[in-house]
Structure 1
Amino acid sequence: MVRQNKNIVNAPNDPNFTSIPTSLTKTIRDDMFLRCDTGPGMSSKALGYQNKCENEPEFSHNIHKIAALVFLKPDDVVKGFEDLSMDLGDEDQAVLDYFEETYIGRLRANHTRRKPLFIIDFCNMFHRTTQSLMRTNNSAEAYHRRINSIFQCSHPILWVFLPKLIDEQNATHTDIVDIKSGQAPKSKKKNERFEKRLLHLISNPHQDILTQLDSIANNITL
C-alpha cells in the first residue's frame, strides 16, 4: 500500500522544506544550473548589501573593486584577490569570502586552493574585453523588450502574430544589410566612452595591482 506524502509546505518560504531537491540542481555533466541557497536568509542578506551599496559610497566602491578582478589577466586574478583581501576591511569580508569560494577557491592548509564553483577562465572578462566580444546578455534582454513592445500582449492570436513577426523579420533584414554595407551598429555614446576607457586601462595597466583595480572599479556598473 502506498502511503500519501503529507509533507506539505507550511508557508511559501518555509525554511524547513527543501523546495529544490539536490538531485535536480545539476545536469548529467555535473554542471550546476540551480542554486539551493536562495532562501529567505540569502534574500535578506542580499537585500542588506543592496541597501548598503546605495547608502554607503565607500562600501559600494569596494564591491566594485572586487568585481573588477574579472578584468585582470587570468594569471593575475589570484594575486589581485589576495592583495585586495589585505587592503579591504572587516565589513567587506563576507563578500570576499563568497567571491573566494565561488570564483577563486578556498585556501587549504598546505597553501593550495580548492577548485571553485566557477573556474577563473570561465568568468574572466580580460580577453572578451580586448577582443570586443559580448560580456553580458543585455542585447538579448533589449531584444526581448522590443518584441514585447511590438506585440503588446503575452499571447497574441495567430493572425496578429504572423504580420508583426513578418514586419520584425523585414526590419532585422534591413539592419543586417546596413551592417554588411559598412554602417556601424547602433550604440550609445555613453557606452562607447566607457568601453574605450576600460579597454585603455586593460591594455595599459597600472604597475600596482590595487591601483589598477581601483581604476577599473570607476568604469564598471553592477
Structure 2
Amino acid sequence: MVSIFDADLVKDHFIITDNGRRIFVDTGCPFDINENSMKRDRGLEAHLKGACEHLETHIDEFWGMEFLEQHKVLFDYQKETFTVADLNDNLTVDHPIAELPMHNVLGPARIIVTMNVAGVDRNILFDSGACIANYLTRAITNTEKHLREVTDFHPQIGFYDVDLYEHPVKIGSETVDVPFGFQPPEVEPSVRAAGAEGVIGSGLYENFQVLVDWPNKKLVLGKFE
C-alpha cells in the first residue's frame, strides 16, 4: 500500500498527521518514539518534549529508523508531501539523477552514503532532522565562505549557536551550494563511530526529491521540475 501525506514543514522539518496524531519523520533517530516506547524508556519523553520546544509546535510521535526499516519513503519538499510505501511496493522519484548505495553500519540502523562535498567524496549521514544546519567536522567546515550564525537544537545538549559555511555538493550531474556548520563536540563522536564525516538533511531534500529505499539499501535522488 502507498500512502501520501501532506507535510507540515515546520522550520523545514517534515511533520505529518496520521490518524489524528502529529508525527515527526526523523531519519537520524535510530528508534521510534510513541506511547509504547515512552513507557519502556522515560528518557524518550524528554526527547519528544525537547523537539516540541525547539520547533514550537505539538508532536505526538517520532517515526525514526525502526519505522523506516519497514517501509520505502519519499521526501518531496517542493510538493510538501511525504510518501510511505510497503517494502514490496514500487516507489520512485520523478526525475532520477543519482542512486547512492547505503553503507553497512554496525549497531543502530543509519542511512550513510558517499557524496562529493567540497570536491572530496565523503561518507555522509542522511538525517531529516538536520534542518536548521547540516554538519561537517570543524576542519572541513570553516574552509569556505561564512554565511551566517543560527541557533540549532540537539536533545543531548539543548540549544546552541552554530556558524554556517557554504560548500558545494555534487549529486550526479547537479551541483548545489549547501550551508554546513561544524558538529558540536558532544555529537561528533557518534557520527564518526557510524563511519561518517558529516550530516546532511535539509541541504539534500530542499534541492532534490529523496527516496529512502531501505530494502535495496540505496538513496535515490530526483531533480525537481
TM-score clears 0.5: no
More helix by share: 1
More strand by share: 2
Largest Rg, 1 or 2: 1
